[in-house]
Homo-oligomer: A and B are copies of this chain.
């Protein structure tokens, strides 16, 4: 089992703002993909749609201003059985996000792609909160021929 890890710090921000961007349809559609629907409460399922396909996440755990956990319930085969964890903490004036996409079976090429792509989307989250403007799909930065 292998994991993708990332960290971004959101300058001059509160973890409450980050938590809102991770737990509301409006927030999520501002940094990950425009096409975000579903139920963002615990036990609900969120539908994230992209040009190449879609991902459904079940909301497993919500600890306000502290932690958000999603379980992948539909999406690319390689994502089956994986979980996404956002751990939040306040570092002075900055809100820090520690991100993990955990439980990959093998470090396949698609995992390399997803790691870089998650970094791009987390910088979009940072930008959304710092400037009011993120770069969600389909306006995200393309990193390779897979998008």
Q: Which residues of A contact B (CB under 8 A)?
A: 2-9, 91-92, 94, 96, 98-100, 107, 109, 111-113, 115-116, 119-120, 122-123, 126, 141, 143-146
Assess the A144–B111 pair: CB atoms within 8 A: no
Give CA–CA (A2, B6) in the complex, Å. 13
> What would be 21 A-B contacts, judged by CB atoms less than 8 Å apart?
A5-B107, A5-B111, A5-B112, A6-B115, A6-B116, A7-B113, A7-B115, A7-B116, A7-B144, A8-B144, A9-B143, A9-B144, A9-B145, A91-B145, A92-B145, A98-B109, A100-B112, A115-B119, A116-B123, A123-B141, A126-B143
Give CA–CA (A77, B71) in the complex, Å. 34
Chain B residues near A8: list those with CB within 8 A. 116, 143-144
Q: How many copies does the complex hold?
A: 2
Assess the A3–B2 pair: CB atoms within 8 A: yes
Given A115-B119, A122-B116: A7 and B96 within 8 A (CB)? no
Chain B residues near A146: list those with CB within 8 A. 9
Give CA–CA (A92, B122) in the complex, Å. 29
Chain B CB count within 10 A is highest, among A2, A100, A109, A144, for: A144
